[in-house]
Structure 1
Amino acid sequence: MPDSARSQVREHARRGEAFAQRHEHGLRLVGRAGVAAEGVVYLLVGWLAAQVALGGASTSADSSGAMAQIAAQPFGSVLLVVLAVGFAALLLWQVVEVVTEDETSHRLRAVVKGVAAAALGFSCVRFATGSGSSSASQQQTLTQRVLEAPGGAVLVVLVGVAVVVVGVVTAVKGLKGDFEDKIEGSLSPALRRLGKAGKLARGIAFAVLGVLVALSATGDTGKSRGLDAAFHEIAAQPYGVVLLLVVAAGVIAFGLFQLVTAHRRVRA
């Protein structure tokens, strides 16, 4: 790349960072709406997980199932649009975090959060317009395509292991209470317990999901159907119904924690 082009790239990056820093506080305030939107989705996912445990789930127990539930309600499309706006705000906030954060770990976390927010916002729009579909079947199809590619089985295993690691790290952070730095001020004992329970349950769910994704490398792509498959796998174990009800309660706790603390968040 010519020196002049490099200089222009650096100048644009500098201006972008300056803009982000000037408006960081305002964007954080707007982005908090996305944290609340995330809380709504997790509340519904937890409720659907409980329905799986009780044998009465009418849709997949994941984010797409939650949005299908919202879409089926009066004014559901309006609520989905509101949630989509919240996720768009959360995405914008994470872009600012990527630009302004100094620590690489925080930047990577912001990238992951931003991608998730974009996916959830897009899904909200699709369900609001009546073109939404189950993310579980889409993930299964994607896994099948990856397996058909050269080295696909190895890649699927690596993805599964990565998801397990994310789940374990999330659970450990929950147990340690390593999330209070995201919130202005101190947390009450009740909120701290709510956050710990939510993080732990979320970590368990993702760890089980990662194991199932890795196992799908054997050709059983039905195991890679997202959180819905993870919840069904938990329910199928000895005492699985009780365990899944506990996990569902934890996921609901995480949703409540996101909602209650959204207005005080300094980091998503």
Structure 2
Amino acid sequence: MSRVLITAGGSGIGRAMAEGFAAAGHQVWVTDVSAVALADVPAGWRTTAVDATDEAGVKALFAEIAGDWGGLDVLCANAGVAGPTALIEDIALEDWRKCVSVNLEGCFLAAKHAAPMMKAAKAGSIVVTSSTAGQYGYPNRAPYCSAKWAVIGLMKTLAMELGPFGIRANAICPGAVEGPRMEGVLAREAAAKGMTRDEVYAGYAAGTSMGSFVEARDIANMAVFLGSDAARLVSGQVIAVDGHTVNPDPKV
């Protein structure tokens, strides 16, 4: 039974990851910036309301994990925000910084404080949530794309630094995931491009060879695999769960 921490686990992909690990018999600890999002988690899950970009809060979280669990086997660094949808010249620096901070610094802080306890155990798996936006360029999504590319660079470095200690690091790149966050992206992109929501949706789906959005549980299934012994020699990899993106530009 592994001890698994999922950041931003109160909803969406993070919640699906937590459900997947719990269903596989693992101990689950979820965080979220919103205490409300953690109010309805199943009995037996540990929860902590913490901002992924607040180092003092993250440090206290890992101290609590060390005290209560005695270590950590799997970290799913999943905290992220969609950021603004706008042309580069229309993006406010404040919005850029917030998007990069949550998506990149959230991963950095979680990995920074997980590494010492994993090193002590000479084992562990770190799974970071990137995006297909970390593999391609997407119009009107400069802050998000930049952050998600950077998350992959961070993961590659973690794999090299921590591999000698028996610790693996991998990145999952979700494609367009059904749910409230993607609905917000669709609405903003439709407004920015003078299109309807359904036209933008169809463009994203048509950009994959399988012609479909993915579901949060598809991402969760990959996270559970990467956290397991079945993936014991899988490290430093960028794995897309996206229905195979063949054209990342949703205009087409």
* TM-score normalised by L of structure 2: 0.31
* TM-score normalised by L of structure 1: 0.30
Structure with greater proportional strand content:
2
Structure with greater proportional helix content:
1
Larger Rg: 1
